[in-house]
Structure 1
Amino acid sequence: MLHDGHVHSPFCPHGSKDSLDSYVEKAAARGLKSITFTEHAPLPERFIDPVPEQDSSMDRQVLDEYLRAVETVKEKYKNIIEIRTGLEIDYIEGFEKETTDFLNEIGPFLDDAILSVHFLKTKKGYVCIDFDEHAFQRFAEDCGSLKAAYEAYYDAVEKSIKTDLGLYKPKRIGHMTLVHKFKKLFPAGFDDTPLIRSILDAALKYQVSLDINTAGIRKMHCGEPYPPLPVIKEAFSRGIPLMYGSDAHMSSDVGKDYETVAPFLK
């Protein structure tokens, strides 16, 4: 089945205002059989969004509206394409209890969900590592080196897999190599394969699937999916479940670059 498991919506404050209908219609036009809307879930109440516009996720006040809107298009297009209601949940170290409480509340209303790492804590506070190249550079400087920054990111991803977030914890890990987003600007200069393999080990042990996210292909300073093809091949060979995700923040990106990773999707 052709499924796009990582699609955003007009409820994303930093995305486009393309309608839910336009996302669905683009998916159907590209031959997809199903999609999951995975809007950025509201951040924990105590957490202060570190990006300048504080627009990393939807506000809690519009969550119910989002859920109703997805249910509307789900019904409208039920004879054309399957639509799943989902969220992209942030794993933020130090906010595990709040995240668990939120999942316990919202989980019964979801068909699907992704658990992702965007925010990491440094000595100077939390940083959204993928906001822009300047934020990433500050993060690396705060960590002391680029290698330490990579290690901190992968450590957080591994913790997201291993941490108990309750019954409704997402079973899929989002863009596990998001730290590669600015790799052309900041070449690593070292092999991060052992760090990645540790995450694959954890994925196998804890029986989670991986988001095979093609958004990185469309990022000028990355040019590869998250994770890159050699990692996708290894994960596939090890029997780790993989799910394609466009990470579309505009309707034209739904289903984009599917053919690049299709050989490794069951």
Structure 2
Amino acid sequence: MLGDFHVHTQYCQHGTDDKMEAYVLQAIEKGLTHLSFTEHAPLPESFTDPAPNRDSAMDRNKVEAYVLEGKALQKQYKNDLQINIGFEVDYIKGYEQETQTFLDTYGPEMDDGILSVHMLQAPDKSFFCIDFSEEEFGRAADRFGGLTPLYKAYYDNLQASVETDLGHFKPRRIGHITLIQKFHLAYPKPAAFLEEQQHILELIKRKGYELDINTAGLFKPLCKEIYPPAELIEHAAQLGIPLIPGSDSHAAVGIGKGFEELANYSLQLPQRINA
């Protein structure tokens, strides 16, 4: 396995206190050659985090410390591991300009990045963090008027994330494209949504983007599958989309977790943002 390219840190407010160096040491111990820190970028300043704990993203005041700590580790371990510093950026409909402003500011410091959808706006204009908890997902479904409109909103937003111009430093990797299925064992999928999923993969291919092959779902008790599941990974591979492995680890012990399930796929290194 080349590396783990979706990794969080102690700067994540809903993760562990494991230091960045602990992740580095774990990656080296597991024989990885590459590691991408992709901490949750701060949410737009005018946006209120809808997660009940208000802990979806890193503190804006700690961005500089995160970047500096990452750069120090790059130098310290340059002979042992290729360390990339980047962000997992939320695409939030209606907040594109603020998101681009953040990317324009910190893009020059980024080696890697992921663009993901976690936040959806219901018809009554309230927002939900759809992966926060089973209970919050149920509340979102009620507010959207059922699972079908909730799923449709997710894939509409995901499509918009791929199509929207967020400037030169827009992340080229689209994160966990079936995150909406995190609780599908409690809330069965209302429909296959295969047409929407395949259309998004075709857009990713057209844009020259990459796909986050995210093993975190395997360890979610109400998911038990990779984001995205095997049939979509295979379709992406047929399209020639680069498949980039990520554990979505929020603890050092999670580095490379579940990667044995990816043994049959042709995985690649991400394209560096500032290459």
Aligned: 1:145 with 2:146: yes
> What is the identity, as a one-letter code, of the residue corresponding to 2:100?
T
- C-alpha separation in 2, matches of 1:178 and 1:211: 11
- Deviation at residue 263 of structure 1 after TM alignment: 2.0
> What is the identity, as a one-letter code, of the residue corresponding to 2:228?
P
> What is the identity, as a one-letter code, of the residue corresponding to 1:216?
G
Aligned: 1:203 with 2:204: yes
Determine the structure 2 residue equivalent to 1:84: 84
- C-alpha separation in 1, matches of 2:27 and 2:256: 6
> What is the identity, as a one-letter code, of the residue corresponding to 1:222?
C
- SS of equivalent to 2:161: helix
- C-alpha separation in 1, matches of 2:8 and 2:192: 32
> What is the identity, as a one-letter code, of the residue corresponding to 2:226?
P
> What is the identity, as a one-letter code, of the residue corresponding to 1:146?
L
Task: Tell me, yes or no, if the aligned pair for 2:119 and 2:129 is still in contact at 8 Å.
Answer: yes
For 1:183-230, what per-residue CA distance to the aligned partner results, in whole angstroms no more than 9, with x for missing partners?
000011421211111111111111111100000001000000100011
Task: Tell me, yes or no, if the aligned pair for 2:120 and 2:129 is still in contact at 8 Å.
Answer: yes
> What is the identity, as a one-letter code, of the residue corresponding to 1:180?
Q
> What is the identity, as a one-letter code, of the residue corresponding to 2:27?
A
- SS of equivalent to 1:263: coil
Aligned: 1:175 with 2:181: no
1:96-107 matches, cutoff 5 A: 96-107=96-107
> What is the identity, as a one-letter code, of the residue corresponding to 1:94?
G
Determine the structure 1 residue equivalent to 2:43: 43
- SS of equivalent to 1:114: strand
- C-alpha separation in 2, matches of 1:210 and 1:143: 28
- C-alpha separation in 1, matches of 2:68 and 2:195: 43
For 1:19-66, what per-residue CA distance to the aligned partner results, in whole angstroms no more than 9, with x for missing partners?
111101111111111010000001100000011221111111100000
For the aligned residue pairs, the C-alpha RMSD in angstroms reads 1.0
- C-alpha separation in 2, matches of 1:39 and 1:15: 10
- C-alpha separation in 1, matches of 2:158 and 2:31: 32
Determine the structure 2 residue equivalent to 1:235: 236
1:242-253 matches, cutoff 5 A: 242-253=243-254
Aligned: 1:157 with 2:149: no
Aligned: 1:131 with 2:125: no
- Deviation at residue 139 of structure 1 after TM alignment: 1.2
Determine the structure 2 residue equivalent to 1:217: 218
- Deviation at residue 262 of structure 1 after TM alignment: 3.1
Task: Tell me, yes or no, if the aligned pair for 1:124 and 1:142 is still in contact at 8 Å.
Answer: no
- C-alpha separation in 1, matches of 2:255 and 2:127: 30
- C-alpha separation in 1, matches of 2:130 and 2:48: 15
- Deviation at residue 74 of structure 1 after TM alignment: 1.1
- Which moved further from structure 2: 141-150 or 125-134? 141-150
- Deviation at residue 124 of structure 1 after TM alignment: 4.5
- C-alpha separation in 2, matches of 1:52 and 1:190: 28
Aligned: 1:10 with 2:29: no
Structure 1: give runs of 5+ residues left out of the alignment.
none
Ranges of 4+ aligned residues in structure 1 off by more than 3 Å: none
- SS of equivalent to 1:247: coil
- C-alpha separation in 1, matches of 2:191 and 2:164: 28
TM-score, normalised via structure 2 length: 0.95
Determine the structure 1 residue equivalent to 2:271: none
Determine the structure 2 residue equivalent to 1:25: 25
- C-alpha separation in 1, matches of 2:230 and 2:127: 30
- C-alpha separation in 2, matches of 1:26 and 1:69: 17
Aligned: 1:115 with 2:94: no
How many correspondences in the alignment? 266
Determine the structure 2 residue equivalent to 1:94: 94
Distance change (3 Å), C-alpha of 1:101 and 1:189 = closer
